[in-house]
Structure 1
Amino acid sequence: LVLLGLLALLHTAAGSPVDPATAVVAVAPGLLVTAVVTGVRTRPRAPSRVRRVLLVGEASGAERAAELLTSRTDHDYRLVAAIPVGPGPLELAGVQIPGRLGSCPADDDVTTVLGGVYAHAADLVLVAPGPQMTGDRLRRLGWGLHDGGVALSVVSELSGVAAERVRPVTAAGLTLLHIAPPLRRGPQAAAKGALDRAGALFGLLALAPLLLAVALSVRLSSRGPVFHRQVRQGRHNRPFTMWKFRTMVADAEQLKARLVAANEVDGPLFKMRRDPRVTPVGRMLRRTSIDELPQLVNVLLGHMSLVGPRPPLPEEASRYDEREHRRLAVKPGLTGLWQVSGRSDLSWQETVSLDLWYVDNWSVAADLGLLARTVRAVADGRGAY
């Protein structure tokens, strides 16, 4: 498509006539190359190598690292054993402990760790540093591990920071991690704004027949208006009116008070899998997320972005703590990490964590990737109710 666009511009600028048959023959090789490249890119890739991890550290740091490693599956690190440092108890369910390091550096530190590596066929030692795992002790442990052909990694206290924002440097013998600030202005922010407006305009024009058909089905299937307008909180907690196709009965807000006890999610959200207020047409619209399409108008007006956190209701935002309030540092989105990661099946804390990750680490490239993943999530339909 880019090639055809460039050719059209060059043809218009040159003003030379081109025979249609000649033009078709000229672009045919481009179509063939596109098909070949697409086939190569979509070819199944070999599974990535799973790293067998031996965790070394004091109880608090090691337990935190172990909990994160075992609670998620979106990584290639498998915890096989742990070696605690110091006398404190290490509570790790199902994780074997082949040895223990003393509170002070000892000559057998490397021997103990290498023994755990060989006993459990580990290929990576992950160290959670602490007061008893000093810099010099860690350095000497690294010498022994590298001489033994074993890789070493160190857990950082940083969390929720994309690797692209981290730059290691050395100064005065120290290893420093420079953290780039989140994108708030500059070329990428301008490009995001342009992408939002252009995408919303194109979406409204391209989907106009579908939007009209859905509007008629909503109007004819149940009593009430076609659109459901609701006040939501946008960037910097500014209120705006969000548009959706109506998926519930006309008096849904009045009936909500009777259903509070049946809320199926934690936190300030209200969700029910079998919400009796949802109409049959509305259930289909929610299943396919078509009810969200009128929010393209909000994107066009600048209230929302194509990608961003979920826009909260005023009563939800009023209950936010300082951490949750950071979700409002960017414009809310028509889709986002929450949309492609489980939607309503997520807990409140999982939703907040995903939104905070996006707020601090978004980029135009990441937005485009999320838009592509949204198509798959919508087609799958899981978590939509």
Structure 2
Amino acid sequence: MYKRYIKRILDIFFALFLGLILSPILLAIAILIKINSKGPVLFLQERVGKNKTVFKICKFRTMITDAEKSGDGLFVFSENDNRITKVGKFLRKTSLDELPQLINVLKGEMSFIGPRPPVCYHPYKIEEYPSEFDLRFTVLPGITGLAQIKLRNGAVWDERMRVDNEYVRHLSFFEDVSIFFKTIVTVFKSENVVISDEHRKHLERRDEKK
């Protein structure tokens, strides 16, 4: 009952409520982004959602335009990455860059709580995901999730997706509430907001095999 109906109703209610309450903050952030650097306010990127369908995730832009075409591409290994704007550093540290995903929630593409949606070409191409991770694609992706409070960006994707499977198996109202409040604590601690050394080494080893 909760998974099929109540979760979606709560998502819509809180997305509308937060959108209204936070509208002055959202406007202020948008203005700061425009003043600080050239480019659009929002960053749109194709991600893999429920049932492996593709949608465009909305975030506040925290990096220079076309940042994926320079430096380390998709990855951010340091908070001092020169592609990150001054305003972007603050937004990433506080996770305020995630707020526009309220739009994705209202559109039914995301939920507040669920597995984070990967990009279409990493860690696997859509058609190449191992079957063991099919379970995590049976629910809407989330703005935050169990893997984010346990691991955030400090672990490789396969490990994160196994935690996602764990979330889906035990999905419940009380689990979502617990993840929500633990997310707030994690954000204030600003832990693992960049990719860990372990993750970097994993990526390097995988690239060497190609």
Residue 275 (str. 1) matches residue 84 (str. 2): no
| C-alpha distance in 2 between matches for 1:225 and 1:308 | 27
Aligned mates of 1:187, 1:371 — CA distance in 2: 16
Deviation readout 1:184-234 (Å, 9 max, x if unpaired): xx3442110111111111111111111111111111001111000111111
Q: 1:305 aligns with which of 106, 111, 114?
A: 111
- The higher radius of gyration belongs to 1
1:217 match? 32
SS in 2 for 1:223: coil
How far has the Cα of 1:354 moved from its partner? 1.2
Paired letter, 1:384: V
1:150 is matched with: none
The range that moved more, 209-218 or 340-349, is 340-349
Q: CA deviation at 1:347?
A: 2.9
Counterpart for residue 84 of structure 1: none
Give yes or no for the alignment of 1:244 onto 2:53: no
Matches of residues 149-228 of structure 1 in structure 2 within 5 Å? Answer: 186-228=1-43
**Match for residue 335 of structure 1?**
144
Q: Distance in 2 between matches of 1:349 and 1:239?
A: 20
Mapped contact 2:2–2:173 kept (Cα < 8 A) = no
- Partner amino acid, structure 2, of 1:294: P
Q: Is the 8 A contact 1:271 1:344 kept in 2?
A: no
Q: CA deviation at 1:341?
A: 1.6
SS in 2 for 1:340: helix
Please report the TM-score for the alignment, with normalisation by the length of structure 2.
0.85
Normalized per residue, the structure richer in helix is 2
How many residues align structurally? 190
Determine which of 98, 104, 127 is the counterpart of 1:292.
Answer: 98
Match of 1:249, as an amino acid?
A: I
Deviation per CA, 1:151-179: give whole Å up to 9, x if none. Answer: xxxxxxxxxxxxxxxxxxxxxxxxxxxxx
Q: Counterparts of 2:55 and 2:66 in 1: how far apart (Å)?
A: 22
CA RMSD of superposed structures (Å): 1.6
Answer yes or no: is the 8 Å Cα contact 2:2–2:172 preserved in 1: no
Output the TM-score relative to the length of structure 1. Answer: 0.47
Identity %: 40
Higher percent of residues as strand? 1
Name the structure, 1 or 2, with higher relative contact order (CA <8 Å, separation 6+). Answer: 2
- Secondary structure of the residue that 2:72 maps to in structure 1? helix
SS at match of 1:192: helix
Distance 1:372 1:330 in 2: 21
Q: Which residue of 2 aligns with 1:259?
A: 72
Counterparts of 1:271 and 1:198, CA distance in 2: 34
Distance in 1, matches of 2:168 and 2:81, equals 31
Alignment of 1:1-385 (within 5 A): 186-255=1-70, 258-259=71-72, 270-273=75-78, 274-316=80-122, 317-318=124-125, 319-385=128-194
Question: How big is the shift at 1:276?
Answer: 2.7
Unmatched runs of 5 consecutive residues or more in structure 2: 195-210
Q: For the residues of structure 2 that align with 1:191 and 1:325, how far apart are their CA atoms?
A: 23
Question: 1:227, 1:246 within 8 Å by CA — same for their partners in 2?
Answer: yes
